[in-house]
Structure 1
């Protein structure tokens, strides 16, 4: 529950809301127990053909007679030299109790005669009206309580969801590779919903129902606290069993959430790769893979249902056991006119039918909230398990952070340098090994190599999407780790092969990441990227056309050109092109080549490509193999001396690069 306690601390920041939940719960509990006291009035007053004023007068008379009898008994015992001292003390105690009782009822008598009806039937009407009024007021406060509880839970869920999303944006790329997209989606949706529901349960049912039980408990204790103690002897073993069930429920819920994350991951992959699935007719394979995950999740759910089903019978058995024990003990005391049980004094007075009926009503009033609480355990354990999963992400510190004392990044006038850079996504897989590479300011280099040689990884170190395990990347001699991330990345423009557009307008996607730009500047960047024509002629709403999730309403080439326009508008010092022209059709490739040739002039540019038209833009070509720089030089020089470059240059280069 340690993680869920942190959620509760967040909830307690909303003090007014929490206090409102407490007050409304308390009012509901008091009125719940108060309405049950009507049983005493009906059984001991109305059913005895009395009104309340008449019953009070009878109580005063009975107490006065008991006081006179006690005085006589005390006098007789005191006059007897063999008198039992214990008997005298007992008689004095009874006299004191009867005096207090008589004084209390004597004080109530004038008000009762003035305001309450004098006939039994009218008394019954008043009792019923009071019960109805109590129920109506209780219902109003219960509605208020449920609204305030829902507001608190949903507010906490809203704040946690914002916090979770903000933290996701701050994490480095390593965290996303370790956590699947489906798992993160599950934590941000299902788990956070479980936490919100847990807060509502805790400040709702978990407070309101125990308060109702406590009000009934105090009512029963007021009637006869000794008999109440006797009836709750069955409670400790039941509570111990419920505690064991709670632990089992938390474990089962945590495993079910992990399996649900697997289902989310499978769905995400399936939807993203639907074309591939249909092209390779692997529907049956994907169906069986999903069925396995769904079946495991089903088994987890059934285990939760089994544990949860045991909670209600345990609480019901506890309640019925208490009531039956009270019935047996109370029946013995009332029917036999006894005040002792097993030689132990249970009551100072002979208990009446009305008193025992009210006592039983209070016990029954405790059992109904206990039954409602049976569903609380699963919600709280589910919220606890969800809290552990969510805070596991929230407690993850990003490896790529701003320095404690950031320096101002100088304008690139000398060189971008990779110095003895070694990097691996994990300790077992080193991708880059002691890479040394200088890129002069304004120079354009093309990086080539086979798949998996580390080309893209090397360029991802420049905007600090990752940090090297060893070595450093410097700009004019300054380690980029000494600079604020925002300042560093504002100098860099990236266009990658996996073009990502957001579900927004074309104009918003081009202007993404650049502030205070005009429509004219957006259109100018689109013209340079040869996107303006298809935007204005082929899209229904031009630059106001929404491109759909991931830009799925556009072709691959159209998405690539919009991404290129985005980089052109940013006007970065350092431009990174990672297979940026791979999806552009041959017709526009020549035009785009002219744009890049102009745009890369006097701009430090790093290009990963397999197209010779793009390689021709480079001042120098760098060949990488197995995470190291194998050779570097002009295209002609590398053709002459580098076997790997010659192989990449031939017809099979497109498939191998």
Structure 2
């Protein structure tokens, strides 16, 4: 049998633990290891790396460690991930706006929340100070060297040469020290920025996943991902720019002005400050216009990315309708808009850079003329002034870049913070749903039904997506523990919406939904959803192995339990026929699986694995052939024993044996009863049944 390479039976040959990668050792401790093929491929890489470790460079060892870590992550079981705590401190409160004065306290709290990171931040700032002081010492010693070499008499030439040599050596040492400590500050600070980035990314991702369905259906995936990506990158950029650009430049400016003031006069230092002020003023004026252009660029970027992702996710529909050229032309229209916005941004950037260069050039000339006013300055003085200013202009240009990027980043943060300030409309309750029903607690259940069923009740439920779209009108129904209930009706009658209320993807507009007598709004969402398994009409799978997709139903399940769930879903034989077996990657949204029900059966296997108290099936067998459908329905009937089950179905023959059938039309319950009772009433259900019976007869005749 072709077992999954991620977690399989440990009855095969087991290597020594020290020969296994960490993920394999972890699997072995849980009673599982990899198959021979996967283990041989991974262990071969590791053993080759270990044999040659003494010859391997640091970079090669790092690459090997990264490959091992990647394999480690891929092979980590969902159960282990579930047991692992992220141990990340919460983020500071999201700022009320993206203004700098609101963002700065947020960044400070973000940096100071970890004592280890605070120490690193202090060390990085110390390295920065040493680097700047050492760098400013270089022009001072160059001044001494030049003054020595321009000695007025030949008798002093020997001593001057010796003094110049000493000054040049010291200046060289200072230059080296400045370069070393400049890079060292980045090395020391990197864990700070990376840790902050990880926290922001983790909590942002968690926050978005916790938002309600109404948020996600209004967002385009590509647009949302770009906003989150730009937002997290902007926080990291501002964080680093403040530490490595703004603070060092301000410190360096103060030191240069102090040196020029003491060496020459206050007017010389004043010219430096005037140049600085003019530079910042020009930058601020042009950046304001660039900010508006950046907003337009971001908007077009969001639309372009959203269009591309939308077309790629639905490429099969695009291909079947032969509309690839139309999609490409629509994408090009967004690209044209993006191109125009990008050109506007580039023009403003060119104007900004040109003006900055002119201001710096004029400022340098003015300061040199002022320093030499009256002819009192030596050649060494002019060299020192030139060196100090040129050393200052570099960071000053970065400061201009920082200011432009700061404004751009604040624009990016605005959309990011708007998402972070968005609150879910589904408020979490504080009541835990009991993990088992009364019958199970009293020992009346057995085997897989040990969790017992849930008493489900809807009391006068009304629901509307918006003011113009009212879907449910006073719906009331009950499902007793262990009872099977079917909901049928024409398209648009509110069947799927009712299921969304049961799983609390939405809250009712009016009325109440109760589970075991507890209002669903008072229950903790996590405990409620742990007790419910849903087999949806449109199954979307992760781009992972079949094994991992089934295991997703209950992270931490054993390999035998996963295999049993696949067998119960009539999926095991199909998987075994695949070349990679349970290790087969299903592709994006499961597109590598056939449309003949394989995706639906994976979803059904998840439900078997979860062993829920409430089973919800939303036309889950609609894509299956008749024979497979009957087998699946038999399995679902077995799973439903002792549990409450609710089926939404179009094909009435699949639900005729349910304990109760609810007939809906236009958002209302119009009939209720068993199959025989509803047929005898000769109402809406009877008409639907007769129509489907005629269709089935015609299909048999035409076949």
| TM-score normalised per structure 2 | 0.75
* Alpha-carbon offset, residue 649 of structure 1: 5.8
CA–CA distance in structure 1, aligned partners of residues 140 and 571 of structure 2: 80
| Native 8 Å contact 2:283 2:400 kept in 1 | no
Q: What whole-Å deviation, never above 9, does each CA across 1:207-260 have from its counterpart, x for those lacking one? A: 334433333222212212412244144544543332233333334333323332
Partner of residue 127 from structure 2, selected from 24, 31, 34 = 24
CA–CA distance in structure 1, aligned partners of residues 263 and 274 of structure 2: 18
Structure 1 equivalent of residue 423 of structure 2: 397
Structure 1 equivalent of residue 587 of structure 2: 548
* Alpha-carbon offset, residue 305 of structure 1: 2.3
User: Are 2:347 and 1:306 aligned?
Assistant: yes
Partner of residue 296 from structure 2, selected from 247, 251, 255 = 255
Partner of residue 327 from structure 1, selected from 361, 364, 368 = 368
Structure 2 equivalent of residue 11 of structure 1: 111
User: Are 2:235 and 1:195 aligned?
Assistant: yes
CA–CA distance in structure 1, aligned partners of residues 140 and 315 of structure 2: 66
| Native 8 Å contact 2:540 2:589 kept in 1 | yes
Partner of residue 38 from structure 1, selected from 118, 123, 141 = 141
Quickly say closer, same or farther: Cα 1:372–1:597, change in 2 above 3 A. closer
Unpaired runs of 5+ in structure 2? 1-98, 439-452, 697-703
| Native 8 Å contact 1:31 1:135 kept in 2 | yes
Partner of residue 363 from structure 1, selected from 389, 407, 411 = 389
Quickly say closer, same or farther: Cα 1:292–1:152, change in 2 above 3 A. farther
| Native 8 Å contact 2:429 2:522 kept in 1 | yes
CA–CA distance in structure 2, aligned partners of residues 258 and 156 of structure 1: 27
Quick check: 500-509 or 572-581, which moved more? Answer: 500-509
| Native 8 Å contact 1:213 1:366 kept in 2 | yes
Structure 1 equivalent of residue 29 of structure 2: none
Q: What whole-Å deviation, never above 9, does each CA across 1:378-428 have from its counterpart, x for those lacking one? A: 322232222222222222222223225657577277841111222233344
Structure 2 equivalent of residue 266 of structure 1: 307
Aligned ranges 1:591-610 → 2 under 5 Å: 591-610=631-650
Structure 1 equivalent of residue 408 of structure 2: 382
CA–CA distance in structure 2, aligned partners of residues 520 and 357 of structure 1: 79
CA–CA distance in structure 2, aligned partners of residues 378 and 150 of structure 1: 23
Q: What whole-Å deviation, never above 9, does each CA across 1:115-145 have from its counterpart, x for those lacking one? A: xx96112222222222222211111112212
Structure 2 equivalent of residue 425 of structure 1: 465
Quick check: 378-387 or 632-641, which moved more? Answer: 632-641
* Alpha-carbon offset, residue 186 of structure 1: 1.3
Partner of residue 179 from structure 1, selected from 209, 219, 222 = 219
* Alpha-carbon offset, residue 150 of structure 1: 4.0
Count residues with an aligned counterpart.
575
* Alpha-carbon offset, residue 35 of structure 1: 0.6
Q: What whole-Å deviation, never above 9, does each CA across 1:59-79 have from its counterpart, x for those lacking one? A: xxxxxxxxxxxxxxxxxxxxx
Structure 2 equivalent of residue 436 of structure 1: 476
| Native 8 Å contact 1:420 1:436 kept in 2 | yes
Q: After TM superposition, where is structure 1 displaced by more than 6 Å over at least 4 residues in a row? A: none
Aligned ranges 1:233-632 → 2 under 5 Å: 233-334=274-375, 351-404=377-430, 411=437, 415-536=455-576, 538-556=577-595, 557-632=597-672
Quickly say closer, same or farther: Cα 1:587–1:643, change in 2 above 3 A. closer
Unpaired runs of 5+ in structure 1? 56-116, 335-349
CA–CA distance in structure 2, aligned partners of residues 436 and 50 of structure 1: 110
Quick check: 463-472 or 618-627, which moved more? Answer: 618-627
CA–CA distance in structure 2, aligned partners of residues 405 and 492 of structure 1: 16
* Alpha-carbon offset, residue 571 of structure 1: 1.8
Q: What whole-Å deviation, never above 9, does each CA across 1:95-124 have from its counterpart, x for those lacking one? A: xxxxxxxxxxxxxxxxxxxxxx96112222
CA–CA distance in structure 2, aligned partners of residues 254 and 308 of structure 1: 15
Q: Secondary structure at the match of 2:557?
A: coil
CA–CA distance in structure 2, aligned partners of residues 257 and 12 of structure 1: 31
| Native 8 Å contact 1:416 1:439 kept in 2 | yes
* Alpha-carbon offset, residue 648 of structure 1: 7.7
CA–CA distance in structure 1, aligned partners of residues 656 and 276 of structure 2: 84
CA–CA distance in structure 2, aligned partners of residues 239 and 648 of structure 1: 78
| Native 8 Å contact 2:258 2:269 kept in 1 | no
* Alpha-carbon offset, residue 498 of structure 1: 1.4
Q: What whole-Å deviation, never above 9, does each CA across 1:273-308 have from its counterpart, x for those lacking one? A: 112111111122211211122222222222332333
Q: Secondary structure at the match of 2:508?
A: coil
Quick check: 385-394 or 150-159, which moved more? Answer: 150-159
Q: Secondary structure at the match of 1:422?
A: strand
* Alpha-carbon offset, residue 202 of structure 1: 2.6
| Native 8 Å contact 1:597 1:617 kept in 2 | no
Structure 2 equivalent of residue 79 of structure 1: none
* Alpha-carbon offset, residue 577 of structure 1: 0.3
CA–CA distance in structure 1, aligned partners of residues 317 and 433 of structure 2: 48
Quickly say closer, same or farther: Cα 1:314–1:23, change in 2 above 3 A. farther
CA–CA distance in structure 2, aligned partners of residues 407 and 280 of structure 1: 47
Structure number, greater radius of gyration: 1
Quickly say closer, same or farther: Cα 1:422–1:228, change in 2 above 3 A. farther
Quickly say closer, same or farther: Cα 1:215–1:447, change in 2 above 3 A. same
CA–CA distance in structure 1, aligned partners of residues 340 and 231 of structure 2: 19
